[in-house]
Structure 1
Amino acid sequence: MRKLVLLVALGCAVTACSPSEPAPTGAPTPTLAGTPSVDPSTDPLYLEAVDVYKKFFAEVDKAEMSGFKPASLSPAIDPYVTGTMKESVEAGYKADKATGLRFQQSSRSTTLKFAPNPGISNGGSTVSIRVCVDATRQQIIDPSTNDVVGTGSLTYSEVFFKRSGAHLRAFAEQADGVMKCPIP
């Protein structure tokens, strides 16, 4: 899912220093009272959402680790993301590309933690998940000097999904930089 600015916006996780603004889709709202009657971590819809997010994150990571070579992420991420989340990710990618900075190849984001987010909806979402991405070991390099100029961050996100045709796609995200992942 910034290594500079993008991963935080993605929830993917890592930007040079500051978390991105949440997508302008409104605050998530609880929709269910009480405890769900099934274990949400075994729900096929939750498992599908996690799979979609992992694929999305891999595409963004691939583009960023290439030194921001593609002009845009849209074709690679279209099967996984839509709406304001896609717009935010695309804008973050272009902003990160414009800095000229790159990521140290040996210092990738490595930790993704997932958890269900039962009873929370945003903009009519079908399902939402909680995600932590740890990019604190990722180094940001200034290519003109080859010096490390920053590191990534730890990001916690709530990601919201809807069906688009037959495909589940992420369409909104609330992401914040955190000191400790709240997902056990």
Structure 2
Amino acid sequence: MTKKALWVSLAIAAPLTSHAAFMDADWAKKACDAWNADATLTSKLGGDAWAAHDGGRGYKLIQIYREGCGEGSRIQLVIANQDGKARCVSGGAPDGKAFDKKYDYLMHATDDHWTCMGAGKFGCGAMGAMTTGKLKFTGPKMEAMGVMGPFNRFLKLTGQIGGEKGACQ
């Protein structure tokens, strides 16, 4: 390949990879789209099963971050109960909505543990990750216990979106 062709290839590829960081705001938007495309998440967490338990606010927050990047790197998904389905209505940086641990979820883990959960490896499902401390969790624990099955899908979704786990954003 000539030098000119190499530079052209790099120039074209740069915009495609410039926002490919794991768990940054762009990643959260992709996670929101992936959530809505997953029938298990939208249907099994919809209505009274989970999404409607929002304290009358009309939404639930799922905030997540990489432990190596610190709590200040949190991203969030805003989930609303729409026509009995749990729909992600926005994904990105926290937008000022107040986090309420009676209804909302804050989850964090090391990059290695996010990788394990995203791959669905043994001991890295929702129950295994929480009981072994791989996934740290703040929120309504009894409610979470009741929706472990669908939340396994969410944890696997983190591995499907991908993203560079290098430097923090």
Rg larger for: 2
- Identify the TM-score tier after normalising by the shorter chain: under 0.3
Q: Higher relative CO (CA 8 A, sep ≥ 6), structure 1 or 2?
A: 1
Higher percent of residues as helix: 2
TM-score (norm. length: structure 2): 0.27
Higher percent of residues as strand: 1
